[in-house]
Amino acid sequence: MFNLPPVIISPNDWPQSNFELGSTNYRPHPGDLSRFLAFQGQTHFGAGYHERYNNPMLAAPSSEAAGGTIYFHNDVRREDLAGALHVLDIKDPPGAPKKFIVYSAISSKPGKEQYLRQLRLISHFAMIYSFNSMRENEATGLPTQELSLEEVIWLFIQNQREEWGTSFGSPKLEGVFGGDGHYAREELSFGLQVESDCFRVYRLWSRAWLVHK
């Protein structure tokens, strides 16, 4: 599990079970980061679901005005990030600031899985009504974060910059994403996705892009 103090990161197997609340293949455990929420609605797909949507016009959600996925460089500035979050409508749940669950994962095969570290940020509302992980009266025991959603995202970016370095051809990333160490070399970058705007579920991950000569 990836740690990011002072962010409260929940174990990926918590809560222990949501089967009693009607969990099915379409409502997987919220800590299962191999699956994504389908942006079209509540249906869940496997980790490669986005490969089904090659046309971005067809992939746009019919019931949401904002969302999607962006990829950005590691030199992103705080004010630019804030602007992007505003456009994507990524913000703390209305009336419930800092009330979200964070899960994390560390890739054992970055080149295949195309990420280094990742976070999944889930509103308390989604834990109850999207994942059916608990009943409404149990939500009072869910943790409240010390940081806002934007602050957690920015902290993750800073953490990954420190861990992997920000330069072209970072030694720690050499060859990890298929670079040859000469004509194509890795450099840290990031991905950010709105899994569900309605339920306030977001995914953030570090990755590397190949800089070619």
pLDDT digits (tens, 9 = 90+) for 79-111: 999 999 999 999 987 788 999 999 999 999 999
- What pLDDT is stored for residue 38 in this prediction? 58
Element housing 211 (H / E): strand 201-212
User: Looking at the predicted structure, is the pLDDT value of residue 26 above 70?
Assistant: no
* Least confident stretch, 22-36, 39-53, 67-81, 128-142: 39-53
Strands (E), 21-113: 36-37, 44-45, 69-73, 100-106
Distance CA 41, CA 46 (A): 15
Question: Which among 32, 57, 36, 55 is positioned nearest to 45, based on CA atoms?
Answer: 36
**Residue 212 identity (one-letter amino acid):** H
Instruction: Look up residue 172 and give its two tokens.
Output: 């720690």
The answer to whether the beta carbons of residues 84 and 67 sit under 8 Å apart is no
Tokens, residue 165: 């370095």
Q: How many CB atoms lie within 10 A of CB 29?
A: 19
pLDDT reported for residue 119: 98
With cut-offs at 50, 70 and 90, classify the pLDDT of residue 20.
low
Domain ranges across the chain = 19-212
191 forms beta bridges with 71, 205
pLDDT band at 25; cut points 50, 70, 90: low
Give yes or no for residue 55 having a pLDDT over 50.
Answer: yes
